[in-house]
A and B are shown apart, each in its own frame.
Chain A
Amino acid sequence: MSDSIAPRGGRFEPRLARRQRTGEIFRLLCLGAVVFGVLSLVVLLVDVSADGFDALQPHFFTNYASRLPERAGIRAAILGSLWVMVLVGAIAFPLGVGAAVYLEEYAPHNWFTRLLQTNIANLAGVPSIVYGILGLAVFVRFFAMGRSVIAGALTLALLSLPVVIIAAQEAVKAVPNSLREASYGLGATRWQTIRHHVLPVAMPGILTGTILALSRAIGETAPLIMIGALTFIASDPSGLLDQFTVLPIQIYNWVTLPREEFQTLAAGGIVVLLAALLLMNATAILLRNKYRKEL
């Protein structure tokens, strides 16, 4: 502690210049850390875009995967990702909002409610691959759904559920109580109050959280590899029980292939995936800002 400000030998020596210098060095180090983080993001995005730019030809979007890199495309992967996203949303959104409304509007203060809440917090921290193991044992094997779109979507819906619940709870919690009191005062029941007053006000917040959860779900690879989605697919999925592939899995598949052309295709797939995520996040942010202005 050479720069200690404690009195030494009975006399206080401020040594202010030196202490300020130490502080300035520290500030620059911290600033350097911020720059490191931002720079990592920029380098990652620029590197991937530069690698993948050449892959972004029209046929890349309309062709199926192929052993010939010049003919390979992401058609099946894009359609698979869309199927999965719609299904995950259709499953996780009602379940998540229902659970959130129960916890915020109905649940009594008892051990069971606390258990539910702790459970949801812990589920949010379970590694995604563990959900993959669950999906493999329960949906693929036990319910014999096979390596189908619906098995994948159910697995990812369970994975997204805690995120949707937590976001929806925040949104429901933010609805002012006076709204509920006014509705009750006019004789509305609890569900009428929730349906006509609480949910409409909370909806932008709920949608924002759901979109963010979905954007996480369509980037997931490991749980879908677990349920066996890494297969060669050269047809459009047309039903819930069809085999499927998704964009991250197609990217992983190409990354593991030795020929350099496939790395370019992987980077091209990444550019498409990141663009989709960016679009979803931008929608979520716009939704949140619009909602903020209206309040």
Chain B
Amino acid sequence: MTTETAARARTLRARRRLVIQERVIAALLLACGVVSVLTTVGIVVVLVSQAAGFFGEVSPIEFLTGTRWSPGLVPQSFGILPLVNGTLLIAAGSSIVAIPVGLATAIYLSEYASTRTRRIIKPILEILAGIPTVVYGYFGIMFVTPLLRSVFPQTQIFNAASASIVVGIMILPMVSSLSEDALSAVPRALREAAYGLGATKFEVSTRVVVPAALSGIAASFILAISRAVGETMAVTIAAGMQPKMSVDLLASIQTMTAYIVQVSLGDTPYGSLEYQTIFAVGLLLFLITLAMNLLSQRITRRFREVYE
């Protein structure tokens, strides 16, 4: 009898230990998930608290509307528009490369290519997205810029055009792969119906499939542009360090990201007003890319509602 009670007690104890172990493990796993929330909180707290110090000295209106950016010169001037202008110029320039080429690639892979071709080409193009950005910077300044200068001799050594081209190549697979996914998700019945009405393949592709996948395609464009906005090394190396309000693609400009790199490379003392600019610029950069990513997610969600 006593051995039986003892055995039962042992089983109970073991079971209780298991229950506790299960709870501890669940809590640990939850903690792993919370790290990602803490990362976001950390980013927001760092950017906002440090930028608050900056905005105590410089009015946000001057920051957002000023057209001269010269924190390192006397008199200092903190108008961020030249940096925004540089960033938008690169975003627009790279879009001119990546959007038409990426969409045409997606249409070819989804509508014309055989399964075999698609299975080979898609990963090859995705290699482009995996190449480190510092390599694109090197390629821009050592290959694209000399090429541009042979066509347009007035091109400066550092110029927005070569940075735009290499960033465009870098984000190309984002447009082509995500758009291809959207095009392939269009139900076959839609294509068959259009063929049944006598449409050619071109008409089916451009007037039925592309419009049906438009939200997915738009989401891929926005994601790609957001990536171009946040791109740092290629533009730092190839586009130069001259903040200015100009849309001349053949001249040197400076993006928000390149400015942040420039400050952290220099000998600006930590805590000075000039150093704090990187948090203000970083905050604006974070908000712009966040807004674009949220927009892209919203568009994708609507797209899913239509087809699932």
Interface residues of A (CB under 8 A from B): 5, 14, 16, 19-20, 22-23, 26-27, 29-34, 36-38, 40-41, 43-44, 47-48, 51, 94-99, 101-103, 106-107, 115-116, 118-123, 125-134, 136-138, 141, 158, 161-162, 165, 189-191, 212, 215-216, 219-222, 225-226, 228, 230, 248, 251-252, 255-256, 263, 266-267, 270, 273-274, 277, 281
Contact between A252 and B237, CB atoms less than 8 A apart = yes
Contact between B18 and A106, CB atoms less than 8 A apart = no
Q: How far is the CB of A121 from chain B (nearest CB, A)?
A: 7
Which residue of chain B has the shortest Cβ distance to A285 in the bound complex?
Answer: B123
Contact between A189 and B43, CB atoms less than 8 A apart = no
Contact between A221 and B134, CB atoms less than 8 A apart = yes
Within 8 A of A (CB), among B115-140: 121, 124-125, 127-128, 130-135, 137-139
Instruction: Answer whether A123 and B264 are a contact pair too, CB < 8 Å, given A106-B26, A281-B130.
Output: no
Instruction: Answer whether A190 and B134 are a contact pair too, CB < 8 Å, given A23-B202, A101-B29, A133-B47.
Output: no
Instruction: Answer whether A216 and B22 are a contact pair too, CB < 8 Å, given A43-B143, A99-B32.
Output: no
Known: A19-B200, A32-B104, A137-B46; 6 extra A-B contacts, CB below 8 A, are A5-B203, A44-B139, A47-B142, A48-B135, A215-B130, A222-B257
Per the bound structure, the CA–CA distance linking A141 and B279 in Å amounts to 14
Per the bound structure, the CA–CA distance linking A216 and B126 in Å amounts to 13
Contact between B202 and A126, CB atoms less than 8 A apart = no
Q: Which of B201, B202, B203, B279 has the most CB of A within 10 A?
A: B202
Q: How far is the CB of B175 from chain A (nearest CB, A)?
A: 10
| B232 CB contact (under 8 Å) in A128, A138, A256, A281 | A128
Contact between B36 and A161, CB atoms less than 8 A apart = yes
Per the bound structure, the CA–CA distance linking A138 and B42 in Å amounts to 8
Per the bound structure, the CA–CA distance linking A267 and B143 in Å amounts to 12
| B206 CB contact (under 8 Å) in A26, A96, A126 | A26
Instruction: Answer whether A267 and B138 are a contact pair too, CB < 8 Å, given A30-B112, A37-B172, A133-B278.
Output: yes
Instruction: Answer whether A123 and B265 are a contact pair too, CB < 8 Å, given A219-B131, A266-B138.
Output: no
Task: Assign chain B's interface to a size class.
Answer: 35 or more
Q: How far is the CB of B99 from chain A (nearest CB, A)?
A: 11
Q: How far is the CB of B280 from chain A (nearest CB, A)?
A: 11
**Majority secondary structure of chain B interface residues (helix, strand, loop or mixed):** helix
Contact between A220 and B132, CB atoms less than 8 A apart = yes
Q: How far is the CB of A236 from chain B (nearest CB, A)?
A: 23
Q: How far is the CB of A254 from chain B (nearest CB, A)?
A: 9
Contact between A44 and B282, CB atoms less than 8 A apart = no
Interface residues of B (CB under 8 A from A): 18, 21-22, 25-26, 28-33, 35-37, 39-40, 42-43, 46-47, 50, 100-105, 107-109, 112-113, 121, 124-125, 127-128, 130-135, 137-139, 141-143, 169, 172-173, 176, 198-203, 205-206, 223, 226-227, 229-233, 236-237, 257, 260-261, 264-265, 270, 278-279, 282, 285-286, 289-290, 292-294, 297
16 A-B pairs whose Cβ atoms sit less than 8 Å apart in the complex: A22-B200, A33-B100, A33-B104, A41-B127, A44-B135, A116-B33, A127-B285, A129-B232, A137-B50, A158-B39, A219-B131, A221-B132, A255-B134, A255-B237, A263-B142, A270-B138
Q: Which residues of B contact A130 (CB under 8 A)?
A: 43, 47, 230, 282, 285-286
Q: How far is the CB of B34 from chain A (nearest CB, A)?
A: 8
Contact between B37 and A116, CB atoms less than 8 A apart = yes
Per the bound structure, the CA–CA distance linking A173 and B43 in Å amounts to 29
Per the bound structure, the CA–CA distance linking A28 and B297 in Å amounts to 33
Contact between B132 and A116, CB atoms less than 8 A apart = no
Per the bound structure, the CA–CA distance linking A125 and B232 in Å amounts to 14
Per the bound structure, the CA–CA distance linking A30 and B111 in Å amounts to 10
Contact between B230 and A127, CB atoms less than 8 A apart = yes
| A31 CB contact (under 8 Å) in B33, B112, B226, B232 | B112
Q: Which 10 A-B pairs have the closest CB atoms?
A: A127-B230, A98-B32, A219-B132, A23-B202, A33-B104, A30-B108, A102-B29, A125-B293, A222-B232, A99-B33
Q: Which residues of A contact B35 (CB under 8 A)?
A: 95, 99, 161
Contact between B202 and A22, CB atoms less than 8 A apart = yes
Contact between A37 and B138, CB atoms less than 8 A apart = no
Contact between B36 and A116, CB atoms less than 8 A apart = yes
Per the bound structure, the CA–CA distance linking A274 and B236 in Å amounts to 20
Q: Which residues of B contact A273 (CB under 8 A)?
A: 132, 135
Per the bound structure, the CA–CA distance linking A55 and B121 in Å amounts to 32
Contact between B134 and A252, CB atoms less than 8 A apart = yes
| B257 CB contact (under 8 Å) in A101, A116, A127, A215 | A127
Q: Which residues of A contact B46 (CB under 8 A)?
A: 133-134, 137-138
Q: How far is the CB of B262 from chain A (nearest CB, A)?
A: 10
Contact between A230 and B265, CB atoms less than 8 A apart = yes
Q: Which residues of B contact A134 (CB under 8 A)?
A: 39, 42-43, 46
Q: Which residues of B contact A281 (CB under 8 A)?
A: 127, 130
Q: Which residues of B contact A107 (CB under 8 A)?
A: 33
Q: Which residues of A contact B257 (CB under 8 A)?
A: 127, 129, 222
| B270 CB contact (under 8 Å) in A44, A121, A141 | A141
